[in-house]
Amino acid sequence: MRVTAILAAGGRGTRMGAPVPKQMLLLGNRPILQHSFDTLQAVGEVMDVVVVLPAELASDPPPFLKSPTKPVRIVQGGATRHESVANAFALLDLRPEDRVMIHDAARPLASLTLFERLIDASRHTEAAIAALQAIDSVKQAAPGSGQPFRLITTTLPRDTIYLAQTPQIFSYGALADGVKLGRSSPGATDEAALVEQAGYRVSLVDGEPGNIKITTEHDVRVAEALLSRSGPGARERFMMPRIGVGYDLHRLEPGRKLILGGVEIPNTTGLIGHSDADVLCHALTDAILGAASQGDIGRHFPDTDATWKDADSIHLLSSAVAIVRAAGFTIVNLDAVVIAELPKLAPYIDAIRRRVAAAVGIEPGAVSVKGKTNEKVDALGRNEAIAVHAVALLGLER
């Protein structure tokens, strides 16, 4: 079962009254759109992402969409939500049993666990949505009549009332029918309603109270509070530093490319490995994952998996960043020592720092890379291998 995600961010959020589309407003230290995008990138079973953007952003996507860890396609949104989703859906060519997950970028606090629970539910049903059961008494009112009040017509049993959220997930076949139906049902508020009308059963997965939809400036303030809320001493924990250490070594042999920090360096020998053997990216990846207690590179990208054969390690590094960001961390700075007898790295250090910084989403000034020799001692000194020691400083964001 393949899972493709559609990230709906095609609106402009006019009710917000902001000078930029609301999805680009900062929440914490990242745009609202990036929060949602990073979480989707960290969902292991999501293979690729289609991001729906308004015209001005679709023509010049923000940088965090340009160096993804998974394939990303950008599509321009339509006049309505349904048109935007339909534009994204038109790019897909999947099997009927494959799954399409739709998430509103304006819900940036949905947890990684919620996405995973929804995917699990979709193994047993054609469609599933995240939803919260109503906890207040639910009243149905008569249509408005110009009076300053409305009359109750009935009280609904709240144990049967659920408030829909995203993410929502559908089989490709079910969503195809829903999208087709939507062309003649412009009043549908979400894809689940269309899929229901098309005759499919839609199951409910418990949503999250913190998975709020940002529509107004007040919602932004609530989201900021939720980001930093952890009980007593929340502000101190929000800023709590976490340090991770990484190490890697690869042997050199003729005929291989030498790639360090995503930069190809001219040399007579290159590093051996299952991926492109970028020893610097591997050490940095382990340092980042370690700081957030998220395992190591072998756990997430095992060399027994053909998926990572000859993989670009700069993308593995970006993927590690998405994983720790989804867990609530932000990257503060990186420091690495590359131990290599040859080649001399000084001419390439600045390019490496810029490449790593772009992949991680921080400024080049927060990335330090130093080249050292091993004074001709052991395999490193005999120019038979290159090793890297790395340190990552992360901040606990929530």
Per-residue pLDDT of the chain (398 residues; tens, 9 = 90+): 899 999 999 987 666 666 788 899 998 878 999 999 989 988 889 999 999 999 999 999 998 887 567 899 999 999 888 999 999 999 999 998 999 999 999 999 998 889 999 999 999 999 999 999 998 899 999 887 667 788 899 999 988 999 999 999 999 999 999 999 998 876 788 999 999 999 999 999 999 999 999 998 889 989 888 877 644 344 434 446 889 999 999 999 999 999 999 999 999 999 999 889 999 999 999 999 999 999 999 998 888 888 788 889 999 999 999 888 888 788 999 999 999 999 999 999 999 999 999 999 888 889 999 999 999 999 999 999 999 999 999 987 44
Residue linked to tokens 């139906």: 181
Phi, psi of 189 (to 5 degrees): -90, -20
pLDDT, residue 17, reads 64
CA distance 269 to 218: 58
pLDDT, residue 236, reads 38
pLDDT, residue 67, reads 57
Torsion (CA) 165, 171, 173, 177 in degrees, nearest 10: -10
pLDDT, residue 156, reads 92
Look up residue 230 and give its two tokens: 């952890």
Closest CA to 104 of 185, 180, 192: 192
Q: Which domains, from first to last, does the chain contain?
A: 3-229 (3.90.550.10), 236-396 (3.30.1330.50)
Residues sharing a CB contact under 8 Å with residue 148, sequence separation 6 or more, in sequence order: none
Give, in degrees to the nearest 5, the angle at Cα 154 between 149 and 160. Answer: 120
The model's pTM is 0.63
- The sheet carrying 367-372 orders its strands as 269-271, 241-254, 385-396, 329-339, 367-372
Q: What is the DSSP letter of 353?
A: H
pLDDT, residue 73, reads 95
Closest CA to 103 of 7, 210, 193: 7
